[in-house]
Amino acid sequence: MKPGKNATSIRQDNLRLILCNILAAGSATADPTITSVPSAGEAHATLPEEASELREAAKASAAPVTGTNESPNAAPLASPHETPHETPEGSPDLPTPVAGTNETPDEAPAGPSNLPAPETATGLSRAKLAQSTGLTRATVSRLTDELISAGMIEELEPVRPQVGRPAAPLAAQPGKNIVLALEINLEYVAIYALDLAGNVLTSRLERSDSRGSDPAVVLAWISRLAGEEASKLPAGQLLSTVLCVPGLVDTDRRTIVTAPNLGWQNVDAGVLLDFPGFDAGHFRVINEADAAAFSVFFSRPGVRAGYSSFLYVSAEVGVGAAIFFEGQLFSGDHGWAGEIGHMCVDRSGPKCRCGSNGCLEQYAGFDSIVRNAGYAAGTEGGKEMSLAKLSRLFDAGDPGARAAIDACAQALGTTIANVLNLLDLRLVVLGGNFARLYHRLEIIMKAEIEYRVLGRRWEDVQIETSAFGDFAASRGGCLAGFAEILNHPARWHEYGIPISFD
């Protein structure tokens, strides 16, 4: 036995190892909101001959920036132990998953996504599980029985292989062990629920305008919506609730420190949220960009998608980012890393809500793009403007729309290049409006990245789009909630999972 490892901690690690291998081998149902992704040719509008000088210059100098379509080498499912009943020092990485499916929002097509595609899996039998984990069959059988008794997994009907005896595959129990995620965006709220098997049990989107809103009113409203959706879930199976917001959060105190675009300061969300089944003791607040990045890192609960390091950048009214580095979300000293929307693009640029000048958000946030296109807030055109309408104006050659979207592309490309030069990442995933506008942004954005990223001379930067549209943050919130639970078996009983380590 390794120093510092007692029988209880080894049992916890082995339970986690077995469960994560079962999750990685099992299959999940498809997200009901998924639509097909158009090919680049279908989605790319024809540019009129009178394109802006900036765009023409970019066309002339741009070389492909997106790297090959091959995914990085995926991590193994689990490393065999040096001895049959021990796990390596530290927490073992969650297994590499089969990746999630592609979804685009209904308003505008997203850019092409070459993130790993889903695969069909059949589950692991006890014998195969012993082989993949390095544990003895007796240990696997005993711990598997515990997980079955706790309602986390089930043993399916035996499958007869081409050679050998029939084997009963193991899989997570559908409809049990659920995480519910709520997202408050400036223009909508979303409710999303996943079970441990990766099935989407609910996905609801309600449009709204929460700019400068009263947090008590908004949280009461989303509590009502969450209660309606939670009432449809199997009783007694809600393990945790995650709230995703566009701002700085204190995860320890479960508060929203500041959300400038919402107009919120020091909001105790755990006190204001209330719906049947909600437990403030099993509640997390997470930044929405961080949450959305979890939908890239994990394909389904406990199952990694194969990318260990990447930059996620998304935009709605605000602009946010998240950084995964070597398999970990980089949060910074205060948990506030990723505020890319407030990186300076122009010191003499327009005033931002944060109090600074010339932030990326003033060029790439939706309200700013509309304003820069000549449709000021409060005017009839500004009130009625949507991303789809703005895109149509761009495609029709409207000079204001073209100038605004081109300026967004240039500012975004410059800012991404600065981050890549600092962090040396090879993958960038675009979400939100950046995914929807991808084919209108890509020429200038890629030209800026190519021009400014030093490492581009030796290796291409890979740029992809998020696969889950408006549900990226809420889906990622569910996956982040499951990661928190699965990483700490000693606390499973706190969530009502009947496995004791006393």
Residue with tokens 């700019």: 211
> 158 and 264: one domain?
no
> 104 and 166: one domain?
yes
Residue 49 lies in a domain: no
Domain extent, residue 389, equals 308-470
Q: If you compute the radius of gyration of the chain from its CA atoms, what whole number of angstroms results?
A: 23
> 290 and 327: one domain?
no
User: Given 129, 150, 172, which residue is the final one in a domain?
Assistant: 172
Strand stretches in 153-271, DSSP E: 153-155, 170-172, 178-184, 188-195, 200-207, 238-245, 248-250, 255-259, 264-268
pLDDT in tens, 390-406: 999 999 999 999 999 99
> 395 and 250: one domain?
no
Distance of CA 49 to the CA centre of its chain: 38
CATH number at residue 409: 3.30.420.40
CB 95 within 8 Å of CB 20: yes
Residue 113 lies in a domain: yes
Residue 61 lies in a domain: no
CA distance linking residue 98 with residue 24, whole number of Å: 7
Residue 63 lies in a domain: no
Strand stretches in 209-263, DSSP E: 238-245, 248-250, 255-259
Task: Supply the pLDDT for residue 4.
Answer: 62
> 387 and 461: one domain?
yes
> 256 and 129: one domain?
no
C-alpha pair distances (Å), 270 with each of 118, 171, 255, 264, 331: 36, 33, 7, 15, 21
pLDDT in tens, 66-91: 232 333 333 322 332 333 333 333 33
Distance of CA 64 to the CA centre of its chain: 26
> 124 and 13: one domain?
yes
CB 242 within 8 Å of CB 182: yes
Task: Supply the pLDDT for residue 169.
Answer: 92
Task: Supply the pLDDT for residue 159.
Answer: 79
Among 48, 65, 46, which Cα is nearest to 444's?
A: 65
User: Per-residue b/e over 84-96, b at no fewer than 16 CB within 10 Å?
Assistant: ebbbbeeebbbbb
The average confidence (pLDDT) of the chain is 82
Residue 2 lies in a domain: no
Task: Supply the pLDDT for residue 101.
Answer: 29
Band (pLDDT 50/70/90 cuts) for residue 47 is very low
Task: Supply the pLDDT for residue 27.
Answer: 53
Task: Supply the pLDDT for residue 66.
Answer: 28
Phi/psi of residue 301, nearest 5 degrees: -50, 125
Helix (H, G, I), strand (E, B) or coil at 102: coil
pLDDT in tens, 419-473: 999 999 999 999 999 999 999 999 999 999 999 999 888 889 999 999 899 999 9
CA distance linking residue 381 with residue 240, whole number of Å: 42
DSSP 8-state code for residue 396 = T
> 490 and 452: one domain?
no
Percent of the chain, pLDDT > 70? Answer: 78
Average pLDDT over residues 220-246: 96
Helix (H, G, I), strand (E, B) or coil at 179: strand
CA distance linking residue 426 with residue 428, whole number of Å: 7
User: Given 120, 140, 172, which residue is the final one in a domain?
Assistant: 172
Average pLDDT over residues 344-361: 94
> 292 and 324: one domain?
no
DSSP 8-state code for residue 322 = E
Band (pLDDT 50/70/90 cuts) for residue 352 is very high
The two three-digit tokens of residue 337, written as one number? 């890393």
pLDDT in tens, 122-133: 688 999 999 999
pLDDT in tens, 161-179: 666 678 899 999 999 999 9
User: Which amino acid, 151?
Assistant: G
Distance of CA 475 to the CA centre of its chain: 7
CB proximity list for 19: less than 8 A, separation 6 or greater: 147, 152, 153, 302, 486
User: Given 138, 172, 206, which residue is the final one in a domain?
Assistant: 172
Task: Supply the pLDDT for residue 61.
Answer: 34
Average pLDDT over residues 56-67: 33
Among 160, 162, 223, which Cα is nearest to 191's?
A: 223
Helix (H, G, I), strand (E, B) or coil at 139: helix
Average pLDDT over residues 244-269: 93
The two three-digit tokens of residue 474, written as one number? 């809420």
C-alpha pair distances (Å), 478 with each of 299, 459, 481: 11, 34, 5
Residue 500 lies in a domain: no
CB 35 within 8 Å of CB 106: yes
Residue 376 lies in a domain: yes
Q: Residue 293's CB: how many other CB atoms inside 10 A? A: 32
Where is pLDDT greater, at 87 or 389? 389
Q: How many CA atoms lie within 13 A of 111 on its CB side?
A: 23
Continuous segment of H or E residues that includes residue 428: strand 427-432
Among 199, 178, 223, which Cα is nearest to 481's?
A: 178
Average pLDDT over residues 305-332: 95
User: Which amino acid, 414?
Assistant: T
> 237 and 261: one domain?
yes
pLDDT in tens, 276-291: 989 988 999 999 999 9
**Above 80 in pLDDT, residue 416?**
yes
> 338 and 352: one domain?
yes
CB 198 within 8 Å of CB 98: no
Task: Supply the pLDDT for residue 432.
Answer: 95
Helix (H, G, I), strand (E, B) or coil at 302: coil
CA torsion 107-368-115-459 (nearest 10°) is 150
> 24 and 151: one domain?
yes
Task: Supply the pLDDT for residue 384.
Answer: 66
**Above 90 in pLDDT, residue 236?**
yes
Domain count, the chain: 3
Residue ranges of the alpha helices (H) in 62-200? Answer: 126-133, 137-149
Task: Supply the pLDDT for residue 54.
Answer: 37
Task: Supply the pLDDT for residue 374.
Answer: 92
Among 337, 306, 211, 305, which Cα is nearest to 264's?
A: 211
Residue 40 lies in a domain: no
CA distance linking residue 5 with residue 317, whole number of Å: 49
pLDDT in tens, 181-221: 999 999 999 999 999 999 999 999 999 999 999 999 999 99
